[in-house]
Amino acid sequence: MSAPPGALRQRITALLAVLALAVAGLLAAGAPDARAASWTPKTSPMTTPWTAQVSTTNPLPEYPRPQLTRPDWMNLNGIWDFAVTAANAGQPASFNEQIRVPFVAESALSGIQRQISQNDKLWYKRTVTVPSNWGGRRVKLNFGASDWQTTVWVNGQQAGGVHSGGYDAFGYDITPYLNGGSNTIVVSVWDPSQTGIGAVGKQRNNNSVLPHSGGGIFYTAASGIWQTVWLEPVATANITRLDLVPNLADSTLRVTVLGEGINGHTARITVSSGGTTVATGTGPIGSRFSVSIPNPHLWTPEDPFLYDVRAELLSGSTTVDAVASYTGMRSIAVATVNGVKRPVLNGQFVFQTGTLDQGYWPDGIYTAPTDDALKFDLQKHKDLGFNMVRKHIKVEPQRWFYWADRLGLLVWQDMPAMDTRTPDTAARTQWEAEYHRIIDQHRSSPALVQWVDENEGWGQYDQARIANDVKAYDPTRLVDNMSGVNCCGAVDGGNGDVVDNHVYVGPGATVPTSTRAAVLGEFGGLGWKVAGHEWYPGGGFSYEDQASTAALNDRFVNLLDSMRVNQMPAGLSASVYTEITDVENEANGLLTYDRQVVKVDQNRVRAANLALINASRTTLANPVLQTGVYKSLRVTTACCTTRYLRHYNGLANTDVVDANSSAVLKADATWKIVPGLADGSCYSFESRNFPGEYLRHRDSRVYREAGSGALFNADATFCARPGTAGVRFSAYNYPDRYLRHFDSQVWISTYGGGNTWDANTPAYVADSTWAVDGPWAP
């Protein structure tokens, strides 16, 4: 039986990929076998499922730039000669060690595994023979990333300028320096880590590269080459960058093709699906043009559909260069949804639930051991029901974004922070320039929906200006000017698309504004140490240790349920749990640091996440109540629908009220609804028989009291939220706490909180939902 076209295409693609890898392996065979044979890795403090799978001669063999691919290339990963000198020294006379590229010198997988300081300079050396069939083309030497200041020589001549930056890709045209035979490449890297002016994220050059106590929320530094190094031949006129930006407003793909030697050339774009051409378009090089996509198949986390793209550089009608890519058609924005600012994907609000992903590995530190390992963490997000990931102050290789695009995970991308001190002018200039380069290199990823500029005030400055700059530089994505504006001395720029709080354990109550959606940039941090899977046994910490895996599951699922029941109705639109895996001495991961153990019940967590996401698709507008009239508030819980909220001796309770009740009871159960004393868009409830006294909460209990001043007015103001067959009322100054009856008493309650009246019973939502009935005492 013949295979369907899609399956056939997948088989052909897989076969071509295998052939390409085989060719790449042959091309890379210039690495001396004797050198590789003499090299051995160091012992990793923890082994992941992929530690032993890393090739010596051809690690990470996948083509490293999935959104701008060419068929001919040579992978230079593998064993290089290596030396360390003083930071101010020139090239050493001898290279007495070997290192496995692209793993950092601090890692076990590199074979070096020792501390590198700002007083050191790393040196790499290898020889390579350029294939004879590359003749007549330019040869480029590319680096996925190298941390931090990198200089390259080919056959003794410096190739281009010094590159400064730890997270952006760069490369050189080395054609002028090549000879017809064996060529020597030398690379030096100086990494001052947190003592320098560059972005470092959570890297800290402290103590030992081996497990040790301490470190806190900062981890082992990563120095030198840490992403794939490769050669590729290109035409004299060639494409250097391809920006693919969807625009759903007119169903077009907005394309910008940049290149070298391009005078007089044009670009042709072909968009296809399953081998069938969907659209074509031509336009100028260096300027944006549009390609119409008829009836676009939208990209979503549930259906991460991608189109194939081919870009050709034309001289007249002749193709002189061509690259392959892909794109996803989706939009992201902030819009008013039922009166609340929310992020909308393809015009629809969907709650974004994700984790904090640090991107650290016990064997490779900054570099995942294999492509399967790189994919694993993202796939585990999907398995657990998350639809988003916050990449925390690190920028991953482009293949990580490829997997996010393919699997369907929304990405919040942090710009890696500088050291926590106030940066000087040189540091600011460097940081902003690297940020722009990172934006340029990831413009075409459909998964990437938000840039996060700064975090908890680390190295903070010019928050509003930077947010405006990023939004202007990439207007197609959301911008978070500061994650954790409520934390650690952070200063909110007051702009951007979201207001972002950090609350541990949380969830807390982030409140949207008239211009920004509310997100919870970090929460959780629940800890559980798994014996035999600790980086430094006995040294782990968390924000809240759990007594057992059962306790961990109950606590975590309760937090997710709380957001569905309490925080989302009050305006929260996204949350980021700390964190997907343990990292060094942080023991608050959903998985262990070695990725060997999933600590939580995967099915239960997935169900809670999906319930949260599904509930967001049917959010309702906040109810609008008539003011200046008397009403009675009836319990909607199935057991107690004849009970009403009443006051008795100053306390709020519920009691059965019917036609035969006394006049006093009927009056006690009648309230005048007035505009909120603290906010006229919310409501206050004035007693029918004690005019001037209002329902107000104090220490969670609800009373009928008189008073004045800002605190009293806030305590006596409640905001109407949608409920099933009624209205829920959240406390104005505690938006995640709702007016709830519990054992006949009335409290402000948060789902699953630590108090008796917070109990997350099956009837919790009904307990906090009130029918607004006609008054018992008109």
Neighbour-count burial of 632, counting CB atoms closer than 10 A to its CB (0-12 exposed, 13-18 middle, 19+ buried): buried
Task: Kindly state the DSSP code that residue 469 receives in the 8-state scheme.
Answer: H
* Strand ranges in 191-317 using DSSP code E only, listed in sequence order: 203-204, 219-220, 224-225, 229-234, 238-247, 252-260, 266-273, 276-284, 289-292, 307-315
What is the spatial distance between Cα 599 and Cα 45, in angstroms, rounded to a whole number? 20
For 56, the token pair is 């010596």
DSSP secondary structure, 689-752, as one string = SSTT-EEEEETTEEEEE---HHHHHHHT-EEEEEETTEEEEEETTEEEEEEEEETTEEEEE-TT
What is the spatial distance between Cα 212 and Cα 702, in angstroms, rounded to a whole number? 50
- 405-451 tens-digit pLDDT: 999 999 999 999 999 889 999 999 999 999 999 999 999 999 999 99
pTM, full prediction: 0.93
- 659-718 tens-digit pLDDT: 999 999 999 999 999 999 999 999 999 999 999 999 999 999 999 999 999 999 999 999
Distances in Å between the Cα of 499 and the Cα atoms of 414, 493, 718, 773 are 15, 10, 22, 37
Amino acid identity, position 329: M
Across the chain, what does the average pLDDT equal?
94
What is the spatial distance between Cα 162 and Cα 171, in angstroms, rounded to a whole number? 11
Q: Please count the other Cβ atoms lying within 10 Å of the Cβ belonging to residue 393.
A: 26
Task: Kindly state the DSSP code that residue 20 receives in the 8-state scheme.
Answer: H
| pLDDT value for 6 | 41
| Contact residues for 93 (Cβ-Cβ < 8 A; gap 6+) | none
| Contact residues for 711 (Cβ-Cβ < 8 A; gap 6+) | none
| Contact residues for 682 (Cβ-Cβ < 8 A; gap 6+) | 675, 676, 717, 718, 719, 720, 732
Low-confidence residues of the chain: pLDDT under 50:
1-32
What is the chain's Cα-based Rg? 30
Distance from chain centroid for Cα 183 = 41
| Contact residues for 198 (Cβ-Cβ < 8 A; gap 6+) | 148, 164, 165, 166, 192, 418, 427, 430, 431, 434
Q: Please count the other Cβ atoms lying within 10 Å of the Cβ belonging to residue 318.
A: 9
